[in-house]
Amino acid sequence: MEQNFVERMDKSLSELKAGIISNLIAGNEDFKNIVEGMDPKDLADVASDDIDRKMIEAIGSQELKQLKLIDSALTRIKQGRYGLCIKCGKHIPEDRLEAIPYALMCIECKTAEERRNR
Ligand SMILES: [Zn+2]
């Protein structure tokens, strides 16, 4: 995976994450207090694992799920494994990552998983 592309995805993931968190802050007083208590350098530094413990009741599970995916993707960038499917290890096409920067699986594995969950 090209370094430029990964850096661009890293940036858009951080922005996406900060956006979700600031939306949650705007809509939820409890959440705001908790985030302020964490005193993050910037919103993208808020760890979704901490959110899990303290805020699961304050925020919707949909947002939490998305934040966790974003954190996983950011971790995989740090590990140098971004863009590789977590199931089969194949490269995830760049256009899929452009559309969903936090995609962790290739379309084949994702489809197979959704079929299993149904
Ligand atoms: Zn796969």
Cross-strand pairs, 84: 91
**pTM of the predicted structure, to 2 decimals:** 0.83
pLDDT number for residue 114? 92
Residue 46 — pLDDT band, cuts 50, 70, 90? Answer: confident
Residue 118 — pLDDT band, cuts 50, 70, 90? Answer: confident
DSSP for 56-88, written as a single string: TTTS-HHHHHHHHHHHHHHHHHHTT-TTB-TTT
Average per-residue pLDDT for the chain: 89
DSSP 8-state secondary structure symbol assigned to residue 41: S
Cα 79 to averaged position of ligand 1 atoms, centre (Å):
18
What is the percent of the chain where pLDDT is above 90? Answer: 57
Residues with CB under 5 A from ligand 1 (ion): 85, 87-88, 106, 109
pLDDT number for residue 106? 96
pLDDT number for residue 40? 84
Dihedral sign, Cα of residue 80, residue 86, residue 90, residue 91: negative
Tokens 């413990």 label which residue? 53
- The answer to whether residue 58 scores a pLDDT higher than 80 is no
Cα 98 to averaged position of ligand 1 atoms, centre (Å):
17
pLDDT number for residue 43? 86
